[in-house]
Every structure is written in C-alpha cells, then in structure tokens.
Amino acid sequence: MELLTNGSNVLLILAGFGLLIFVHELGHFLAARWAGIRCESFAVGIGPPLLAWRRGIGLRAGSTDPATIARHGKPAMEMTDEELARNGIGETEWSLRVFPLGGFVRMLGQDDLDPGKVSGAQRSYQRAPLGRRMVVVSAGVIANLLLAITLFMVAFMAGVKFEAPVVGAVLPGSPAAGAKAEGGAADGLRPGDAVLAIDGQRVDTFADIQIAGAMARPGQALAFRVLRTGEDGRAGEVSLQVTPELDRAAGLYAIGIAPALSGAIGSVGDEERATFDEVMQRAGLSPARDADGAAAPLRTLLTVRVGRAADGAAHDLHLAQRWMDGPQDGPQPAIAAAALERAAAESGGAPFVTTWRTAGGKTVERRVTPLPRFQELRDAAGDTELGLVGLVPLLRIERPMDGSPNEGVLRPGDVILRAGAAQGPRMRELRAELASRAGGTIDMLVLRDGTDTEVTANGGSNGLLGVQIAAALDLPVTAATVASVTGPDGMPCPTPAGELGLLPRTRIESVDGRPVTDWASLRAALVEATREAAARDESVPVPVVLASPTPGHERFEGALAVTSADARSLQSLGWAAPLPPTVFEPLMTTLTADGNPLTAVSMGFHHTKTMVVMTYLTLDRIVRGSVGVEQLRGPVGIVHLGARVVDRGATYLVFFLAMISVNLAVLNFLPLPIVDGGLFLYLLYERATGRPPSVRFQNAATTVGLVFLGTLFLFTFYNDVMRIFTGT
C-alpha cells in the first residue's frame, strides 16, 4: 500500500513522467516546426484539458477555444495562417490534460485515431516531403534517447549507489549451488564471490546478475567469472558455468542467489524501533556506553570469531571488503550475515564472539549464542511448519502493528491456545478461522501471564489480526500436530507425533528420561535419543512423557516411533545466527564518472545502448515464454515502483527516469499501429510504393492497435493494483 501512503513521492514521479512525455512530444513539435508543418495542439496527458494556454488568448481553465470563439467568432483550428497572424493568435494550444498517461502533438492533417482526417492545406502533414515526415515521426524517440543520455550523465557525475555484484546467500539446490567450476576450483557459487563478468560482459551491479539470469535462453549455461577470497585472505579468479532455471513464483529465470549484506546495521524507523531493540537484546547485542555513560548502539560488525584453529587459537572469519565505499580501517566482513551464519553453524551451539563498532566509534566485543534450527515439516496441503517429528510450537503474539484493530485487545506475549473453533491452531488454521470471520470478531483463548484468558479479537476487514506472530519456543506445548509430511517420492509419510494422535496443547514433559523445559531442550533430547539409531540407519522408539489438555488424563506415557530418515534429519539440524539478515544494510557499490564529464558522456551512451538492447531482449523473452507476462508493468506499476525509488535519493531517481525514458523510446518505436513505429512503417511503405497505405487498411490497423494496447493496459493495470494491495 506504499503508493497510497507516500503522496509526495507519487507527485514527484508523476512530475518526472510529465518531463519525459514533454520531451518526447517536444521532439515531435520541434521537428514539425522545422518541417513547416502547422501544429495545432501540444498536450501533456490525455483526456479533457485541465489548463490550456495559447498566445494571444492566455491561460484558461479547460480549453482556450471558448475564449477564442467569443473573441473572434470561431476556434483557432478553423483559422488560416493569415487569420491567426491578423488576430495575434498562436497556432498552437499548449494544454495539461486530466490523465497523466501520455501526450500528443496534433498536426494539421494528422490524427492517429482517425487516419482519414487528412488535409490538402499547404502546411499540412501530408504536404510535407516524405523525408521530413520521417524525421517528425522519429523525433520523439530520438528526444527520449538524448534525454536518457543526459540523465545518465547527470547521475554518473554525482554517483549512483547500487547493490554490489557480490553473492550474499545461495539457495540450496539452486543453479548457483550446482554451478560447475573450471580449473579444479570448488563447484557452486559461494557467499562472498564477487561476480566480475557474465558471458564476457562486465558486471557492475547485482541487478546485472539478475538481468543476465532472466534474459538467458532456457537451458543455456552462462559463463561466470568471479573473484573468490579464501580464508587465508588471498583472492583469485574462478570460472563457473551456471544454467538459470525458471522461478515459477517470480515468473523469471533465475540462478538462486541473494545480494550480499554489509556489516552496517540499517536505519531503523520509529515504528520498527521496539521490535529492533528486542531482537538485538535477545541476540545479546546490547548497546555499549560512551565515556559520559550514554547508550551507544552497535553500528558495524567488524569480525566474527568462532572455533579453534590447528594451533589452538581462535580464528576470525574475515572476508575481504572490496565493494564498500570509503576507506576501511581494519578487516570488515563483506557479507556480515553469511559470516554470522557460518559462525553459528561451526559453533555447535556454543556462544561465539563478535566485534562491533558503536555509533560513537568505540570497538566492543559481544558474545552471541546461536539458535537451534528445527525441521521443516511440509504437509499434504503444501504448507511448511517449523517443528520436530510432527510437533509444532504454539503461536505467540509479538506485538500489535500500527493501526491494528486489536491494539489493547491482544498483548505482547499472549500465547494463542484457541482461536474460534481451532484448538492450538497452527498458522494455516488461524488464517482459516480469521478468513471465515473477516470484518467480524473471533473468540480466542490466550495464555497471558501464566493464566488462561478469554478475549474477543477483531478480525479486521481483510481477515487479519494486525499483529506480529512468532513461535512460542519457550513453552514446551504443541499446537495441532503435522500428521503427515510429503516424502521424497511425493507420497505422504506419517510423522511420529501424528501416529501418537496427540491433541493440540499437549505438554511435553520429558523425552527418553530427559526433562523438557522448552523447544531447545526438546530438540537436544531428541537428537541425543536418536544419535545411535541415525548412525546405524535404524528406526527407534523414543519414550516420552506427556500431559494431555483433557481433564482427568493429564499425564501419560508413550513412544515416538522415529524412523531412520527422521533420525538422520534430527542429527543434521544445525544452528542459526540469532540476528536476522534484514538488520544489515545491503553491500553497495557506486557507479560514478569521478567528476570527469567525458567519462560521464561515455557511461551515458553505454547505459542507454544497454537499456535499448535489454528492452528488446525482454520483449523477445516474453514472446519466447522465458519471462512471464506478469512481469509487465503499466503506468500505475511504474509510479508505484518509482515512489519507492525516490527514497533511495535524488541520483537514483534521475537514473530511474533515464531508464524509463529509454523504455518509452523503445516501446514507441515498436512496429505497432498508432505508435511512432507503426507510423514510420507507413512512411516506409509509401517510399517503396509511391503511395501511403489505404485509409481502410489504416483504420483496421488502428482498431487492432487500440484493442491490443487497451487489453495490455487493462492487464498491466490489474497486475499493478494487485502488486500494490498484496505487497508483491
């Protein structure tokens, strides 16, 4: 919903679009004046005019025609050149129209929507020489390309920040993970790999990597050249072959990597401050104290220390910092989140030491305790829950969000015991209960301060509680169990907890004689109880003592029938960093001409050419089916995207407008009726045959073009609106 809440950004983007359209139409206008063609109207936008100005009439609300008729008896369009001169009236009406979705220059005898509206007047479009008409038709596209070059130059003179072309994370099982290396190097792209080139083309930003993957031909491998830094700090180039695969959720071909994150903590808004402080506190990363005793928040992660080297000394996970702007004092991790995750994985659950720079410039150490990972339990419906052998934690309210309908009703720390008819609901069941009561209320039972408490929550018009929810990992009580999971063959496999038929809200008291106090101790007990079975690849019954929520049957004993596959899965569970990667800023690089105008000109031409080729490639891939049509954006989607771009700074806004200017030029010159490319084809036909296409043909082509563009507009408009309201 950003588009609806960021009005100033939207207005700024609309003004930018107005500039692009104005320049496009100005190209047509100036070329028409050069060709001696009379220009009757210059409009930015479409629909009825909001404001109009004509020399000799002045500024008017709506059209200037009523004032012209009242003063001279007829509109300016019906006057000859001599009458216009005698009456002191300009031939062109300049107008701003209601809908900022385009613009036009109306020339005498030329109407895109009415090909039969021709004129035999001396200064009509039809009377101009064919070569001059070609210049007029193509002038808008040329103007947009020249504007793009200029905007790129301005942006590069100031410098534009982009996400650096460094791998931050690799999705397991992705094309990047299975990349084949050459020359004996280790296969697979790795966190920290800096991509230098793809198929011989230099890579400057992470977006270049994404675009290369999306534009790849299906089944065709891309040649990656990366700079890889080893643990000894030495860097060397590695060549790999990566074959992108279709990401069905995104509708694009991709290789399965995420951008690198720097060691700097990102900016935190007021509405996020409480959540952020709690996350940092929970991770053991409390603020330091300055000399005057004031709190000094941690700002930059410097090193992560874990484990013991062969000589018995702890070793630091240093990654060479090659892309962060500005001087660096001391080694800094180029991929902080990956360094933390690796430290957690190597720690075996033991705390490890991190070094930070505070807001005041002080260097401090903090011990960080990793979090246990849990199994991903995928049920027959395709939903995935984090749990253990079919057991799933209850849900806890973290805090109501801004504007929540349940502020003051649901409190931080409330554990959901019942929602509507669902006892101990998992997330899917909670959503279903809320969806059935959208716009109404829902009776809930929550555990609040150790006491079962009845509350009546508001479902909200969208069927959401408006609260942040997390797993209640400190409470060894299970929600509704996952009865079966999808096996490797796609068939359902019963879980050990599902075979016991446990009721929701069952408390786990002990496992194999080991007391259970929370989900971490439950995991530790299950791992220990299945260690030998996993080594022998055997199934094993694990004794458990449970407390049922049914009165009179509070305590009973049973056994979890843990299969060999479950035992191996439990043994493979690792540890995660307690700090989510989202707290770090992306690793950035700056594209800049370093103040050299000639370099800026060269970069401007280069990026304009690249964008032209990329736009045509995108259209080609859409036709081939390797890029989903849902990726197309219409005016609403571009404004939505642009409103978010504005927050990245003025130089990125200039860069964004340059890209849109290139796209506007390319799309306008496609060989489609009613756009410049279609009109240019008509002129080529006229040059070849000595006569223009028949009015009948032009009318038919115009109708087809209008239907096609109208359908495309409705399709992209629907997609744009859905993106806004779903947050995708």
Which DSSP category does 79 fall into? S
How far apart CA 545 and CA 557 sit, in angstroms, is 5
Of residues 713, 676, 654, 641, the one with CA closest to residue 19? 654
- In the residue annotation, 25 being an active-site residue is answered as yes
CB 397 within 8 A of CB 413: yes
Of residues 391, 451, 387, 386, the one with CA closest to residue 417? 451
How far apart CA 84 and CA 511 sit, in angstroms, is 97
Q: How many CB atoms lie within 10 A of CB 470?
A: 11
- Single-letter amino acid code for the residue at 694: S
Whole-angstrom CA distances from 501 to 421, 525, 539 are 19, 21, 19
Distance of alpha carbon 81 from the chain centroid: 55
Q: In the chain, count H helices and then E strands.
A: 18, 39
The widest CA-to-CA distance across the chain, in whole angstroms, is 106
Task: Specify the residue for token string 């040059």.
Answer: 687
Catalytic choice (25, 91, 163, 245): 25
Of residues 106, 226, 243, 82, the one with CA closest to residue 164? 226
Q: Would you state the structure tokens that stand for residue 724, as one six-digit string?
A: 């806004």
- 702: phi > 0 → left, psi -120 to 50 → alpha, else beta; which? alpha
CB 181 within 8 A of CB 188: yes
The secondary structure of 159-182 as a DSSP string is -EEEE-SBEEEE-TTSTTTTPEES
**Residues β-bridged to residue 46:** 99
How far apart CA 550 and CA 545 sit, in angstroms, is 15
CB 467 within 8 A of CB 397: yes
Backbone angles phi, psi at 556, to 5 degrees: -150, 165
Positions annotated as catalytic residues are 25
